[in-house]
Amino acid sequence: MLRPLNYNLNLIYRCPQCQTPYWFSKSEINKGLAFICCGSSHKLAGISDIRVRCYYDQDIDDKVISILRSYGYTLEQIKSIPIEANSTEDYVKQFLASQK
């Protein structure tokens, strides 16, 4: 299964008079651009940082879940850590290491 390498994100601003949406990239916004709509120039508020977090459905086998639940972890905690492992033992080791 392929996972994304990167992302392309645009921020949407709306004209305060007519509510028309305008799309801009972070680099365009941080150049101090403005857009003109309804006869007015609208300066864009700058963005210092954008963080995107992806969650994937994980195919975790029942043995992994059983082992980690015996350590007191909930199913939600187990599924919340993105881990790629080739064996039950590797998965459990990586999960426990991530909890330190």
> pLDDT (tens digit, 9 = 90+) per residue, 31-86?
888 999 999 999 988 888 878 776 655 667 888 889 999 999 998 898 888 888 87
pTM of the predicted structure, to 2 decimals? 0.48
More confident residue, 57 or 29: 29
Predicted pLDDT at 46: 80
How is residue 92 written in tokens? 């459990």
How is residue 29 written in tokens? 């916004």
3-class state of residue 80 by DSSP: helix
Predicted pLDDT at 8: 80
Residue 25 scores a pLDDT above 70: yes
CB 63 within 8 A of CB 88: yes
Residue 28 scores a pLDDT above 70: yes
CB 35 within 8 A of CB 45: no
- Cα–Cα distance for residue pair 80/23, rounded to 1 Å: 32
All structural domains of the chain with their residue ranges: 1-54, 62-98
